[in-house]
Structure 1
Amino acid sequence: MWGFLKRPVVVTADINLSLVALTGMGLLSRLWRLTYPRAVVLFRRIRWQFFVEQNWSRIQ
């Protein structure tokens, strides 16, 4: 009944090193200095808030 458990379980994986290297370089280039510059994000947030406040009366 449990005859399949007597055989060892074998898992194989083929790894393409060039694909792994390319993926790693892509992640590194996207995440490099992700939080720099912080001032630009703040500027965009303030500008968006100003835009919403100016046009809020039109929406209501």
Structure 2
Amino acid sequence: MRIGLIGTGRIGSFHAGVLARHPEVGSLVVADADPARAAAVAAAVGAEAAPDVTALLGRA
């Protein structure tokens, strides 16, 4: 299953970690208004970062 997560603040970061560990999630892409924060969360959980929501939606 492919998942796109918008928002990597406190709750979004928590959800990213849970989703990254879920056995049925094959691909996780995260985006945030702050691309650096999205990149940091993605690196921490082994996901891919999108520079913005438009780019995330374009990967569908």
TM-score (norm 1): 0.24
More strand by share: 2
TM-score (norm 2): 0.24
More helix by share: 1
